[in-house]
Amino acid sequence: MSSKKRDYRDIVLQIDSELSKVQDADILLEHILIEARHVLNADAGTIYVREGDQLVFKYSQNTTLEKRLPPGQKLPYSNMRMPIDDSRLAGYAAKNRVPVRIDDAYSIPADKPYKFNPSFDKQNNWKTRSILAYPLITSTGNLLGVIQVLNAMNEDGDAIPFTAGDEKIFEHFASSATDALERAFMTRAIILRMNRMAEMRDPKETGAHVNRVAGYAAEIYDRWAFNRGIGDKERERTKDTLKMAAMLHDVGKVAISDLILKKPARFTPEEYKVMQAHTCFGARLFVDPQSELDIISAEVALRHHENWDGTGYPGMVDIWSDDPYAAPLECGPDGGPRKLKGEEIPLGGRIVAVADVYDALISKRVYKEPWDSGKVLDEIRAMSGTKFDPEIVTAFFEVLPRIEEIRSRYPDLEAEEKRPPLEIKACG
């Protein structure tokens, strides 16, 4: 076996273990693309996920174009989708469940049904040459998506064709990636089901809202950690965990009475106190932690309503008490639970606080119309140093374009759209 092939095998084994550590589906998709490009030394790549009979573009990476961006910035998200048919290369790979390897995108033989679309190249002053597209298919035959790498690079940095050997390596890689992705989709489905339970109790906490808050929290953390010089590995790991924990920030609302959750009028002070206990109920779900995810989920659930200046809730409460305010773990000057402030509030709580308030203000809720974007941003800025950690607010504004893209990725659906037909036949 040549040393190049041995290297490949080592890389594939290493990738297998790297991918198995990532739990969040979106972060995993980004990782898969990074590793796929690494293993084949490709300048660029795109990953698509199947939704029904379409491929939805998830991530695009391009080393040459990224070098033109300021440090710490990434290429923007896109919401592009394409039909799974023969007209485009990735669609063809998905429909026919075959890899597609092209030596030169600008001289695809006329007898091929798919065409190359040069508009991205033109807009970005970049040239696609070689392409390798691979369908991601599970062992039970479920098509998850397509991964496409572009421009294999030689040692001099010139684009060269992908080889038949590269295609073989990619086959192993795609199989590891598919396994990891299937697990991540399952984890996400379970988290979303937990949230659906909360949503049945409190219709404000929609699936779209939790997906958005999780996406914002991951981006804000990533920038905050970059600003603090935290290394890539730790940054990726924490971002992954925080993203999933953020999805569960209000899951404790399952334990709050409908009389309060669905009350059409303002809460009395007593009702407001009961409502505040959703933080404690949420934290209760994650005691006896089995993983880093449980620890951060507990912190986020308990601390996402704490304020930087020490005016938030719940403070130093006993989460198991029936009346957390009557029996604090530590008393403050007013006899109630001692308040937490500044960096005493766990980072996840400080980040989700900004993400949650931003989303609540900018979205339509049953009790309010969406605020104008400029007014929302003024409000976030005004609360820096009082309600919010100023460093987190700075990171939030630095990633605002990505936050806005995430917002458009997860729009609020009308009730009808949320109800796909159930294909289980009734008895009899």
* Residue with the two structure tokens 């970005």: 124
Cα torsion angle, 194, 200, 201, 206, sign: positive
Nearest Cα to Cα of residue 40 among 227, 179, 166, 200 = 166
Any bridge partners for residue 400, and if so which?
none
Total site size for Fe ion, rule CB under 5 A = 2
The answer to whether residue 202 forms part of the interface with Fe ion (CB under 5 A) is: no
Cα torsion angle, 384, 387, 393, 394, sign: positive
The residue count for the chain: 428
Which range touches Fe ion (CB under 5 A), out of 42-50, 83-91, 246-254, 395-403?
246-254
The answer to whether residue 398 forms part of the interface with Fe ion (CB under 5 A) is: no
Which range touches Fe ion (CB under 5 A), out of 170-178, 188-196, 328-336, 349-357?
349-357
Closer residue to Fe ion in complex, CB, 18/250: 250
Which range touches Fe ion (CB under 5 A), out of 125-133, 194-202, 250-258, 343-351?
250-258
Closer residue to Fe ion in complex, CB, 250/389: 250
Cβ 360 to Fe ion, closest distance in Å? Answer: 6
* Residue with the two structure tokens 């029904």: 52
253 is catalytic: yes
Among 250, 306, 389, 398, binds Fe ion (CB under 5 A): 250
Any bridge partners for residue 376, and if so which?
none
The answer to whether residue 356 forms part of the interface with Fe ion (CB under 5 A) is: yes
Which range touches Fe ion (CB under 5 A), out of 126-134, 228-236, 248-256, 393-401?
248-256
Closer residue to Fe ion in complex, CB, 102/283: 283
Nearest Cα to Cα of residue 350 among 233, 209, 229, 245 = 245
Do residues 16 and 178 make contact, with C-beta atoms less than 8 angstroms apart?
Answer: no
Cβ 304 to Fe ion, closest distance in Å? Answer: 6
Closer residue to Fe ion in complex, CB, 35/356: 356
Cα torsion angle, 236, 237, 242, 248, sign: positive
Which residue of the set 58, 95, 239, 253 is catalytic? 253
Closer residue to Fe ion in complex, CB, 299/356: 356
Do residues 49 and 56 make contact, with C-beta atoms less than 8 angstroms apart?
Answer: yes
Cβ 92 to Fe ion, closest distance in Å? Answer: 41
Do residues 42 and 151 make contact, with C-beta atoms less than 8 angstroms apart?
Answer: yes
Structure tokens at 199: 């949503």
Interacting residues toward Fe ion by CB under 5 A: 250, 356
Active site residues: 253
